[in-house]
Structure 1
Amino acid sequence: MTTVVPVSEAVREATAALTRAQVDSARSDALVLAAHVLGVPRSRLVLVAGFTPAALAEFRRLVADRARRVPLQHLTGVAGFGRLELAVGPGVFVPRPETELLAQWALTVGGALAVDLASGSGALALALAHGSPATRVVAVERSPAAVAWLRRNAAARAAAGDRPIEVVVGDATDPRVLAEFDGTVDLVVSNPPYVPEPSPGDGPPPEVADHDPPEAVFAGPDGLAVIRPLAARAAALLRPGGWFGLEHDETQPPALPALLSPWFAEIAIHRDLTGRPRYVTARRVAD
């Protein structure tokens, strides 16, 4: 007779292991991994009899990986973003919940043509296509690894019935990329690399430092090395009156008005759910 280990017992053991590894969301991550292995929604774990030996071995393997600070989303292969579930893994930045606020703002703006610069997994572009079917959405990404994830997610969302987005491979700051759209875009959004290069011994958590692509995270000593040319590129793409929404580091708001004011007005800093300044919005003025 096959021995079945109760879910509660396995999750308790996993939570203890993840707590020892200093994973902040130890119990939550243990529950997510249990649901992933058992093939049920987390809310239905209480209805599962337990883990078979094979399932328990797989669960413990994933827990050990998480204890080594492999991102939870790499282990499950998906990241939730608003109402979407996006495929993620090595080579692409894992979308964060705080970026959902920028996506929600973008949906209030809408427009006929929107561009997502430095799209990564496609989170912002696909959220726009899902929530605003009348909007034509173009996503720009240069990393070959990230483009593979972007195309995969775009195909999956199109198959689910969302309006297909257009994927353009190129440097989001290059004036030649999307030059044919200059002066016609209604909305530009971006979650670019913006984290200042860390001092020795003062880096981000292992999930970021060891697994997110560095070129998708860090951007020079002040974190603005990409934002500066990106703002200029957004300004060139936008029509007068068009909107720009940009995620940024919490240390950067003092620099943003001066950086954006050559092209933009109505510059506003917005806070995330923790109260930290997280994204800026601005409206293109006529030249």
Structure 2
Amino acid sequence: MLARAARVLADAGVPSARAEAELLAAYVLAVPRGRLALADGFTDEQLDRFEALVTRRSRREPLQHLTGSAGFRHLELAVGPGVFVPRPETELLAGWGVERAAERVADGTTPVVVDLCSGSGAIALSVAQEVPAARVVAVERSPAALTWLRRNAATRAAAGDRPIEVLAADVTAPDLLAELVGRVDVLLCNPPYVPLAVAVPPEVAGHDPAEAVFGGGDGLTVIRPVLRRAADLLRPGGAVGVEHDDTHGASVPDLLAADGRYTAITAHHDLADRSRFATAFRRTDHRRPPTADTWQTGSS
């Protein structure tokens, strides 16, 4: 049955068809994927359910919508229609933010961490779980995404993680988080960044919210104001990390350098060696230098 399901998914163009067939079977049987070989066979009802899910997946409905959850670092997050499904590559940006927040805790500080375009809350909730001393603020505009964000935040708080603060707001607003100007230790953002002309997989085109995917003609429509506002919000020495399209490996670091308020600008690649996110630190001298900093490529 797994082999047949894998063939159906492969014929439909689903990547990693065998693995996804196993994940769907494990979901139906309520067992970890690694224990499928030890599980009893499907009941008739389970088989019908499994075949129905395989059919839906073959129509390129996201696997995470079928199972209702997405794994992200050490979390399982509820996801579904109306919210962007978090990607494994974003775990690198979240991990970088966790490290920066943990450094502040080691220095005896309660860090303020802001997650812009929070979506399901993947980055914000990872920081709250892994750096429980941090104050974490998650900002999201979409009413549909906010429903999933608040649901995940409530679930993690009930599990014992430090509660996060959820704010409904547009991250491009010039007065965003006015009460935190000059006080933020770490600002992270996984914004909509795909250029409008870029073709995306059916799972994205048909199911991820367009406002969470596309960032205008060049993909930088949201990133530009986010970088400007981040410089206002960060304390001197504060850290910013922004995910971007793999075609933005030079343009986003260049935007950081051109602003003049950032230093130690670094371009990061993902595990497939694609440009994935850029990081920088707020200058401590509060000045805009006459010439922009150069930037470097770092490992993630």
What TM-score results when the alignment is normalised by the length of structure 2?
0.90
Please state whether the residue corresponding to 1:189 is helix, strand or coil. strand
Give the structure 1 partner of residue 212 of structure 2.
216
Give the structure 1 partner of residue 179 of structure 2.
180
Q: Which consecutive aligned stretches of 4+ in structure 1 deviate over 3 angstroms post-superposition?
A: none
**Could you tell me how far 1:181 is from its partner in structure 2?**
0.5
Residues 164-217 of structure 1: per-residue CA shift (max 9 Å, x gap)? 000000101213331100110000000000001125xxx111001111000000
Residues 90-120 of structure 1: per-residue CA shift (max 9 Å, x gap)? 0000000000001111111004100001100
Give the structure 2 partner of residue 26 of structure 1.
17
Aligned identity (percent) is 59
**Could you tell me how far 1:44 is from its partner in structure 2?**
1.4
Cα distance in 2, alignment partners of residues 159 and 93 from structure 1? 23
Aligned residue among 228, 239, 244 for 2:224: 228
Please state whether the residue corresponding to 1:253 is helix, strand or coil. coil
**Could you tell me how far 1:48 is from its partner in structure 2?**
1.5
**Could you tell me how far 1:257 is from its partner in structure 2?**
2.9
Gaps of 5+ in 1: 1-9
Give the structure 2 partner of residue 281 of structure 1.
279
Cα distance in 1, alignment partners of residues 253 and 133 from structure 2? 31
On the 8 A contact 2:253/2:278 being kept in 1, the answer is: no
Please state whether the residue corresponding to 2:250 is helix, strand or coil. helix
Give the structure 2 partner of residue 98 of structure 1.
89
AA aligned opposite 2:237: G
Between 173-182 and 128-137, report the one with greater CA deviation: 173-182
Find out whether 1:165 has 2:161 as its counterpart: no
Give the structure 2 partner of residue 6 of structure 1.
none
AA aligned opposite 2:170: D
Cα distance in 2, alignment partners of residues 189 and 257 from structure 1? 15
Aligned residue among 239, 243, 248 for 1:247: 243
Aligned residue among 55, 58, 66 for 1:64: 55
Find out whether 1:152 has 2:148 as its counterpart: no
Gaps of 5+ in 2: 105-110, 288-300
Question: How many residues are paired up?
Answer: 275
Give the structure 2 partner of residue 82 of structure 1.
73
AA aligned opposite 1:253: G
- Structure 1 vs Structure 2 CA RMSD: 0.9
Cα distance in 1, alignment partners of residues 33 and 265 from structure 2? 41
Give the structure 2 partner of residue 121 of structure 1.
120
Please state whether the residue corresponding to 1:210 is helix, strand or coil. helix
Residues 138-170 of structure 1: per-residue CA shift (max 9 Å, x gap)? 000000000000000001111111100000001
Cα distance in 1, alignment partners of residues 94 and 79 from structure 2? 18
What TM-score results when the alignment is normalised by the length of structure 1?
0.94
